[in-house]
Copies of this chain bind each other. A is one copy, B any other.
Amino acid sequence: MVQDFFFNVNDPDAGLFRELTSGVTTRVFVGEQAMLSLVTIEPNAQGTIHSHPEEQWGVLLEGDGVRIQGGEEVPVEVGDFWRTPGNVPHGFRAGAKGAKVLDVFAPPREEYKKAGQGFGTADA
């Protein structure tokens, strides 16, 4: 059914649930060439700085925070988006409002194809 290919960013039951670290959870949607990850970051929580060979794009859907990428910190607002080439260390620290980030991985990250815990890399 075509409806099986349609989702909503605010559906709490959609996707594969994953706790990345304390205060940072995601729901993962697996494709063949790309994977989407809807990350919820609690106020002032921060994801572990990590890297992986897959390219990543992020879009800030709600809240505020700081994108940490390549050792630099970039404050971001709703509507900002960014590209993270493969193997560039990165992370995100939410501001006082918390944050919701839509991440895209291409190709899909093997570690995220099942529910679980952690960023899924050796340094996470």
List the B residue with the shortest CB-CB distance to A32. B55
Complex Cα spacing A112 to B70, Å: 28
Interface: A101 (CB within 8 A): no
Q: Give the oligomeric copy count.
A: 2
B31–A83 CB distance below 8 A: yes
Residue from B8, B70, B80 within 8 A of A2 (CB atoms) = B70
Interface: A19 (CB within 8 A): no
CB within 8 Å of B: which of A32-91? Answer: 32-34, 36, 54-55, 57, 59, 67, 69-70, 72, 74, 76-77, 79-86
Interface residues of A (CB under 8 A from B): 2-3, 5-10, 29, 31-34, 36, 54-55, 57, 59, 67, 69-70, 72, 74, 76-77, 79-86, 102, 104, 106-107
9 interchain pairs, CB-CB under 8 A = A7-B80, A7-B82, A8-B80, A10-B79, A31-B83, A33-B106, A34-B106, A59-B102, A106-B107
